[in-house]
A and B are shown apart, each in its own frame.
Chain A
């Protein structure tokens, strides 16, 4: 069958040699192409933020149109990688849980008291069915009542105490 939407054809792969990202203090990310075209405001978005955040980074405008895709973040020069990774880290506010102090249930709402890589936090999770999702056998994604996300990269690697608390909800 023929391509029905001409737009579909146009996935632009960005050549890592021909792009440069810049970011001033406090400002948003800027992209400059080799030919001098400047995109003053771009947003990197991971196509597979959970399974492989480094591959297929879509560079999007503020209107959420795709400018192009970087196939692999690792093909960029190191300082450029740092820049994009910083942006991605801000975009994906998904604190990684390192320690679980306590999980307490009351009326179907679980209060989690945790330490994450972005600081300590107390948050509330409704039930467990839909809000604690397994990715593979050991990785967990948790969504709280505010729809903020948290992850546990490998729950078997948490401390014994954390695992005992986590046991209540798995």
Chain B
């Protein structure tokens, strides 16, 4: 936490505060004028000191004796914050800092406050996520835990190749075929050379012509056959590998914690599964083998060219150098346009995904026109990016073409001279020329391939990035298996915030006994949903712990834990499938009889049977073919069948008509019985039935008690109920 203090500031401090130990030395990145620059904050046993160095002169800007301090706050602002200290009746803005330093100063504020209160120094070091690589100090890409700079670039390839391990025998087989095929096709010009030099020019040994011609035919046939066999094996191996990658990717996406999804667009993730894996498939099935083959060819031809005439080879090296230069230097510029193209595409996909998932809202507000416009804008951007990309290529392609022709011209001219000087035979030159034609082809293909491969490589990188993402919720190494929970829950000093600087829950303490029903009440934003999200372990707490049966939730095997926690959500999510499948979602091996019992208990049995297909009724995408009341009861049935020890209930605010409402309440009552239940309660009946009602406000518990106790107390709860019943009355009038 302490960085190196500049010498001049050290000197000034030594002069002014000789011998005072510095407990905190922190550097800010913004000056008090709100521009980029450095200032320093120091905490000693007696003083808070701010110092800075400007134009080579160090000075102490501010000094506040700890004794006079009454309040210290790190105030969050936009893009940064301010450290404000209240002392002797005035509030001073001591320092400004950007978000990069916000955690440090939030910690410092607490440390200073503690020091001022009781003179004890406790270091508040808030652990921050590793944003920078510890080796090279530069930022880590996205959510990966490895710094690719400190790994080799080849790593992406290598890691993708990890997936090819199971297919090693087939791959070796492909290699063997590839090498023999290349050798076969490379021998062809040598036969031409023999025919010209040994038969045609001397005009003798006519009997050799037929065998030579037949060999030519044989070699052609062999290389074609080998090529066909190779392509078939390749297709099998490549497709299998891609299937494995796709599977791994989807598996990972399922296992990642919710916080991963909070930060990302579902549309962009969709692209990763569908089109990025497609790109990788191209890489694995077509481009990579082609790359290998051309590399072999280039290597082989290179050797033949050199043997035929090393002098001539030196002449044609020049254009090759140019090609290499092109790949190395000019190509990266083209990359930018590729990246941009892909980015635009995923932006467009995101829009489509947004609008189509929210199509009901779009229709309801009659915003089709605007959505079309939004899409058109993105589509036009994509279109433009595609055009720029292709146009850039039209500049570079002719340049490449010219070098190719240049090589051929050089060969015929220099080679012709060499023949005149008797240093080369016509057969050699012919063979040379055909090798050269075979040589430039692959070289240019390699250039073009570097474009394609780098594309697909970035698709591969994106996939690997997901594969390497660490789920924030993971089983601790010493996690224990608990097949049967009792259901006692304790929140002990829990603090949590989606943004660590803004805790939603602050020092939250609550003990829930076995089989107790707790009603959580509070205005929106008071932290109710956060409490249940933490209990479901969608997130892990920042500070404190949640104990289940006296055991830290993080020490219980995640899968065991989830099996015993049931959730009934406000907006029940049904998957496309039948009603029976949805009820049995948490227990796929449930017997039909069990499903019927659960449905009966949830008061769903009768409405289900009134459908023509009964339990086999298809619910539609997200359960769209059922009414809200029906979906709610199915989700209650699902929870009943799941039979959890701990039940989490997010009651719907939007209610259905009175009769169905009563049926749902009935069902809920049956569900709650005998389980530890935490309910975000809106229904008065739930609150009356709850053993205790906990009232939350701004992440803190403000009232606890039974419904009647709290009503008598006439506090926050009383007021909330008043508002609600007023609302209920107004609704009746409204209806």
**CB-nearest residue of chain A relative to B73?**
A62
Q: Which of B91-99, B117-125, B582-590 lines the interface with chain A?
A: B91-99
| Cβ contact within 8 Å between A27 and B90 | yes
Interface residues of B in 704-735 (CB under 8 A from A): 723, 726-727, 730-731, 734
In the complex, chain B residues whose CB is within 8 Å of the CB of A124: 138-139
| Cβ contact within 8 Å between A62 and B139 | no
Tell me whether A83 is interfacial, beta carbon within 8 Å: no
Tell me whether B330 is interfacial, beta carbon within 8 Å: no
Tell me whether B622 is interfacial, beta carbon within 8 Å: no
Tell me whether B461 is interfacial, beta carbon within 8 Å: yes
Tell me whether B142 is interfacial, beta carbon within 8 Å: yes
Interface residues of A in 84-140 (CB under 8 A from B): 89-95, 105-109, 116, 118-121, 124, 126-130
Q: How far is the CB of B682 from chain A (nearest CB, A)?
A: 13
In the complex, chain B residues whose CB is within 8 Å of the CB of A89: 34
Tell me whether A52 is interfacial, beta carbon within 8 Å: no
| Cβ contact within 8 Å between A149 and B78 | yes
B91 CB contact (under 8 Å) in A2, A41, A91:
A41
In the complex, chain A residues whose CB is within 8 Å of the CB of B80: 93, 148
Tell me whether A13 is interfacial, beta carbon within 8 Å: no
**CB-nearest residue of chain A relative to B71?**
A62
**CB-nearest residue of chain B relative to A49?**
B78
B37 CB contact (under 8 Å) in A2, A108, A119, A147:
A119
**CB-nearest residue of chain B relative to A168?**
B336
**CB-nearest residue of chain A relative to B140?**
A109
Q: Is the interface of A mostly helix, strand, loop or mixed?
A: loop
Tell me whether B59 is interfacial, beta carbon within 8 Å: no
| Cβ contact within 8 Å between A108 and B142 | yes
Q: How far is the CB of B660 from chain A (nearest CB, A)?
A: 23
Interface size on B, residues (CB 8 A): 49
A2-B730 contact in complex given A28-B93, A93-B96, A129-B268, C-beta closer than 8 Å: yes
User: How long is the Cα–Cα vector from A28 to B339 in the complex, in angstroms?
Assistant: 46
| Cβ contact within 8 Å between A118 and B343 | no
The residue in A93, A116, A168, A169 that gathers the most chain B C-beta atoms within 10 A of its C-beta is A93
In the complex, chain B residues whose CB is within 8 Å of the CB of A149: 78-79
Interface residues of A in 1-46 (CB under 8 A from B): 1-2, 4-6, 24, 26-28, 40-41, 43
User: How long is the Cα–Cα vector from A6 to B79 in the complex, in angstroms?
Assistant: 33
Per-position binary interface string of chain B over residues 89-116, scored 1 when its CB falls under 8 Å from any chain A CB and 0 otherwise = 0111110101110000000000000000
Tell me whether A79 is interfacial, beta carbon within 8 Å: no
Tell me whether A170 is interfacial, beta carbon within 8 Å: yes
**CB-nearest residue of chain A relative to B131?**
A145
| Cβ contact within 8 Å between A129 and B265 | yes
User: How long is the Cα–Cα vector from A25 to B346 in the complex, in angstroms?
Assistant: 50
In the complex, chain A residues whose CB is within 8 Å of the CB of B37: 119
Tell me whether B272 is interfacial, beta carbon within 8 Å: no
Q: How far is the CB of A120 from chain B (nearest CB, A)?
A: 7
In the complex, chain B residues whose CB is within 8 Å of the CB of A146: 98-100, 131
| Cβ contact within 8 Å between A92 and B340 | no
Interface residues of B in 36-90 (CB under 8 A from A): 36-37, 62, 73, 75, 77-80, 82, 84, 90
Besides A106-B149, A121-B36, A127-B343, 13 other CB < 8 A contacts? A2-B730, A4-B723, A4-B727, A24-B90, A26-B94, A28-B93, A93-B80, A94-B79, A108-B142, A120-B36, A129-B347, A148-B98, A148-B99
The 7 sampled A-B contact pairs (Cβ below 8 Å) are A2-B726, A90-B34, A93-B34, A119-B37, A130-B265, A146-B100, A148-B79
Chain B interface residues toward A at CB < 8 A: 30, 32, 34-37, 62, 73, 75, 77-80, 82, 84, 90-94, 96, 98-100, 131, 138-139, 141-142, 148-149, 265, 268, 336, 339-340, 343, 346-347, 350, 461, 465, 523, 723, 726-727, 730-731, 734
Chain A interface residues toward B at CB < 8 A: 1-2, 4-6, 24, 26-28, 40-41, 43, 49, 62, 89-95, 105-109, 116, 118-121, 124, 126-130, 145-149, 167-170
